[in-house]
C-alpha cells in the first residue's frame, strides 16, 4: 500500500511542481531531505510535524516549538500514527535524526 505524503493528503499544491508552488511557495516538507524515507515518505512528507514552515490550516506554520501542539491534533499526523503502528517514530527520535543527518549534508 502506497503511503501518502502530507501534500498529497492535504492537496495544498505546495510540493515541487505543484499547482500552488508559484503563489504559495514550495513547502519545506517536500524538499527537506534529512527525513527522506521516514515512514516511507518522500523528503519529509510523512514527518512534516518536525519541519518549520509547512502549511497547516491554510496558513504557514512557524517553528517546531510553536506548531507541534497543533500537529498532534492534525488528521494527517493521526493517519501516519495509525498506518505506521509500532513502527511510528517518536518525535524526539525524528529530531535526533534531523540533527545527525544535517551534520552530514
pLDDT digits (tens, 9 = 90+) for 4-49: 999 999 999 999 999 999 998 999 999 999 999 999 999 999 999 9
Identify whether 42 is part of a domain.
Answer: yes
Identify whether 13 is part of a domain.
Answer: yes
Q: How many independent structural domains does the chain possess?
A: 1
Q: 40-72: buried (b, 16+ CB within 10 Å) or exposed (e) per residue?
A: bbbbbbbbbbbbebbbbeeeebeebeebeeebe
Domain span at residue 64 reads 6-100
Determine the 3-state secondary structure of 32 from DSSP.
coil
Tell me the percentage of the chain whose pLDDT exceeds 90. 69
All 3 cell numbers of residue 100?
Answer: 545527525
Total-model pTM: 0.88
Identify whether 74 is part of a domain.
Answer: yes
Identify whether 20 is part of a domain.
Answer: yes
Amino acid at each position: 500500500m502506497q503511503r501518502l505524503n502530507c501534500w498529497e493528503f492535504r492537496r495544498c499544491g505546495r510540493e515541487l511542481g505543484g499547482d500552488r508552488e508559484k503563489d504559495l511557495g514550495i513547502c519545506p516538507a517536500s524538499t527537506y531531505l534529512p527525513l527522506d524515507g521516514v515512514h516511507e515518505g518522500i523528503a519529509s512528507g510523512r514527518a512534516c510535524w518536525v519541519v518549520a514552515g509547512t502549511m497547516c490550516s491554510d496558513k504557514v506554520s512557524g517553528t517546531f516549538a510553536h506548531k507541534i501542539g497543533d500537529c498532534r491534533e492534525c488528521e494527517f499526523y493521526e493517519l501516519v500514527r495509525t498506518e505506521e503502528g509500532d513502527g511510528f517514530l517518536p518525535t524526539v527520535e525524528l529530531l535526533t535524526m534531523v540533527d545527525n543527518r544535517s551534520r552530514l549534508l
